[in-house]
Each structure stands twice: as C-alpha cells, then as structure tokens.
C-alpha cells in the first residue's frame, strides 16, 4: 500500500523561484526580499513587477508598467454586459470567475502560451480586475458605474471607481500593504490549482478562473469575509472570549486562525495588524482592535493557534468601507500577480500534474445478467 499524503501535507510538488516560505524562521520572501520590507517601502505596482519579472523596477521601468496598467483598465461593453446579467444576489467571486472567463473568450491570443504573451495577459488582468470588482460593488448598491481614471495610481483609481473619491494617504497605504501581503505565497491551494490547469497546456485565463474558484472557499481566501462576519456577530469585545470557547467546545473551526504551513505564526500578520490598527485609529474602530486582541488571546490560551493574514485583513477592509462579500475579490486583485507568475513558471519546465490515488472501492466484479 502506498503512503497517502492526505491534503498533500508535506509533499514537495515542484520547485519555484517566485517566493519562499520558511516557517522555522517565520519568513516569507518574494524573489529574495522579505515581504515585510516590501510592504514597508514599495508600491504594489513595484511588487507586481518583482513577482512577474524577478527584479524590483527602476523608476523608468515602474513608469512603463504603470502606464501600461493605466491604459488597460477599461473593459469591453460585452464584459460589462455579462457582469450586469449575473444575478446580483450571487457571491462576487462567482461574478469575478465569470468575468475572467469572458476576458479569455474576448482575447484572440488566448491560446498563445509564450512567456511574453502570458505576461501581457497577466498585466491586462491586473489592470482590469479592479474595474470589474468596483463596477460590481456599485451595481449591488444601485449606483452608476464610475470609469477608471488613467491619471490615478492603482490604489487611488480603485477607491475612485468604488466611492467616487480618493481617501487619505494613510488609507491608501494600508490598502497597498494588504495587496502586497496577499500577492504571493508559494504552492497554496489556489496557486496550485492554477499550476495544475496550466500543466495541461490550457490557457492562462482558464488557470485564473479555476484559481478564483479555489480561493473562494472559507478554508482559503473566503476566511477574510468570515472573520468580519464573526466579529459583527460577537458585537462586543467583552463577549469574544466566551464566544470563541463555545465554538471550540462544539469542535468548530474559527476563521482567521491556523495555517497549513506556519504553525508558530503567520509572518504577514504583524505588518497587516499594524495597518489594521492604524485604520481603526483613523476611522474610530478601536472596538474591532479590542475584539481582535480578545479572540487572539482566547485562541492562544485554548489551542495555541495563531491568527493568519485574513484575521487582521477582514476588519481592515471593513474599516476602509468595503462590503464584506467583496473582501475575497480584493484578495484576487492582489493574488492575480502570484497566480500568473506561477503559470508562466510552470510552463517554463512543464510536466502534467497528475498524482496517483489508492483505490478503496469494491474489487473488480461482473455486471449482473439482468442489468
């Protein structure tokens, strides 16, 4: 009988040069740079360049990337038409999954899997996804669409398309920090999904569409939404400890805690928590910080499990004014960089991803005569 690695726990499936997670030293690097330092000193566009092209851009390269991104934000009327026909009571991740499929169907070079073509498509999705997410956000609120403004930076333009205004620099910075921290994390479930699709030599849009489906799950990206719903349900920090202990006693998982790879602590949490605390100070949301502390302390005391990135990101997005079902689409706007870099890397030395299974069903048998 072969050894079964349920959930592929501990399996090293391939090599990657994009990011390294070292749980022993609690570190995460993108192309060799610690993610905390990138979050402190770089723009999200610079980090996207690093993830795709392997190096941080100089001023001229960054200006060129920003120009290409700004020029490609608009989506076709046909994509907007499809978005508008998707029922607005569905989850926004369903809509995003459909919209990326549309982008693929519209692209005459959809099946060109050369690195140059796939990098161009990655940049195009990076530019267009915020436009789709913002449009969906406004249509669900019964508001008219706001067109992208090519004169604004990535984060500024996104807030402009959602709210019609650009917020304070501190809010933009917290948002950019979240985008940088969410951008890439080696062979997580959605990235591995994208690589699996790419390994069949399908197209990059199909890989991203599948990755969106994987990210939607509450054990993965959907946790940032679940965290905020949980906090709203608890309501008052004074009830947080009891609430959490009751859930654990009922053998329920508490969203925003635990990680497959990090068992000591998630390396991204301190940076995101600082951004969340800053948001709370700016927007008068100290109640959520108090609740965060209560839940964290109760979980550590009960099970010694640390928060993951979704725990501070959920309430930070709430304080920025976004609707809860939109939190995972925000994650997509960031992780599109990592997913597409992995698709390109997979295709550089491709092998079809096709594991084996150990059969546990009935032994071979004959079909009954009367059947």
Phi and psi, residue 19, nearest 5°: -145, 155
The DSSP letter of residue 21 is E
Q: Is 220 a catalytic residue?
A: no
Q: Which is nearer to ligand ACO, 135 or 335 (CB)?
A: 335
The residue from 69, 294, 310, 345 that contacts ligand ACO (CB under 6 A) is 310
Q: Is 309 in the site for ligand ACO (CB under 6 A)?
A: yes
Choose the stretch contacting ligand ACO; rule: CB under 6 A; options: 61-69, 204-212, 230-238, 304-312. Answer: 304-312
| The two three-digit tokens of residue 44, written as one number | 């999200």
Q: Which is nearer to ligand ACO, 73 or 335 (CB)?
A: 335
Torsion on CA atoms 306, 282, 332, 24, rounded to nearest 10: -30
Choose the stretch contacting ligand ACO; rule: CB under 6 A; options: 79-87, 166-174, 232-240, 308-316. Answer: 308-316
- The rounded distance, in Å, linking the Cα atoms of 135 and 144 is 8
Q: Is 5 a catalytic residue?
A: no
| Alpha helix positions (H), the chain | 35-41, 44-53, 59-71, 77-85, 92-106, 115-140, 154-163, 169-182, 189-199, 204-215, 223-234, 240-249, 269-283, 286-303, 310-320, 327-348
Minimum distance from CB of 74 to ligand ACO (Å)? 30
Q: Is 255 in the site for ligand ACO (CB under 6 A)?
A: yes
Whether 292 contacts 312, CB under 8 Å: yes
Q: Is 223 in the site for ligand ACO (CB under 6 A)?
A: yes
Q: Who contacts 51 (Cβ-Cβ below 8 Å, separation ≥6)?
A: 18, 19, 30, 31, 183, 184, 337, 338, 341
Q: Is 314 in the site for ligand ACO (CB under 6 A)?
A: no
Q: Which of residues 235-254 bind ligand ACO (CB under 6 A)?
A: 253-254
The DSSP letter of residue 222 is T
Q: Is 256 in the site for ligand ACO (CB under 6 A)?
A: yes
Longest dimension (CA), the chain: 76
- Report the residue number whose CB is nearest to ligand ACO: 258
The residue from 91, 145, 260, 287 that contacts ligand ACO (CB under 6 A) is 260
- The rounded distance, in Å, linking the Cα atoms of 128 and 259 is 31
Q: Is 38 in the site for ligand ACO (CB under 6 A)?
A: no
The residue from 258, 285, 314, 315 that contacts ligand ACO (CB under 6 A) is 258
Q: Is 305 in the site for ligand ACO (CB under 6 A)?
A: yes
Choose the stretch contacting ligand ACO; rule: CB under 6 A; options: 10-18, 137-145, 165-173, 218-226. Answer: 218-226
- The residues assigned a catalytic role are 259, 310
Contact residues for ligand ACO, defined by CB under 6 A? 7, 219-221, 223, 253-260, 303, 305, 308-310
């Amino acid at each position: 009988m072969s050894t079964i690695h349920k959930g592929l726990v501990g399996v090293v499936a391939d090599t990657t040069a994009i990011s390294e997670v070292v749980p022993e030293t609690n570190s995460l690097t993108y192309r060799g740079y610690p993610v905390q330092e990138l979050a402190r000193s770089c723009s999200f566009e610079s980090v996207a360049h690093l993830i795709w092209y392997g190096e941080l851009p100089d001023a001229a390269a960054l200006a060129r990337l920003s120009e290409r991104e700004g020029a490609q934000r608009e989506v076709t009327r046909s994509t907007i038409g499809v978005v508008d026909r998707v029922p607005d009571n569905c989850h926004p991740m369903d809509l995003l999954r459909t919209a990326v499929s549309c982008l693929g169907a519209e692209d005459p070079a959809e099946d060109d899997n050369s690195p140059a073509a796939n990098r161009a498509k990655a940049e195009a999705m990076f530019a267009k996804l915020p436009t789709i997410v913002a449009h969906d956000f406004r249509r669900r609120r019964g508001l008219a669409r706001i067109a992208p403004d090519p004169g604004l930076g990535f984060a500024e333009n996104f807030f402009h398309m959602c709210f019609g205004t650009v917020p304070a620099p501190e809010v933009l910075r917290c948002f950019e920090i979240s985008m940088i921290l969410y951008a890439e994390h080696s062979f997580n479930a959605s990235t591995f999904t994208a690589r699996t699709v790419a390994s069949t030599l399908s197209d990059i849009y199909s890989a991203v569409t599948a990755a969106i489906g994987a990210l939607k799950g509450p054990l993965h990206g959907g946790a940032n939404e679940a965290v905020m719903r949980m906090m709203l349900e608890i309501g008052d920090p004074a009830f947080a400890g009891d609430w959490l202990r009751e859930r654990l006693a009922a053998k329920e998982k508490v969203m925003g805690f635990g990680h497959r790879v990090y068992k000591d602590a998630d390396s991204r949490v301190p940076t995101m928590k600082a951004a969340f605390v800053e948001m709370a100070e700016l927007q008068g949301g100290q109640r959520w910080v108090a609740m965060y502390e209560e839940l964290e302390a109760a979980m550590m005391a009960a099970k010694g499990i640390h928060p993951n990135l979704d725990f501070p990101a959920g309430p930070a997005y709430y304080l920025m004014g976004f609707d809860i079902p939109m939190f995972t689409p925000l994650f997509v706007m960031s992780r599109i960089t990592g997913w597409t870099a992995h698709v390109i890397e997979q295709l550089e030395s491709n092998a079809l991803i096709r594991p084996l299974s150990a059969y546990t069903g009935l032994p071979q048998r004959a079909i009954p005569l009367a059947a």
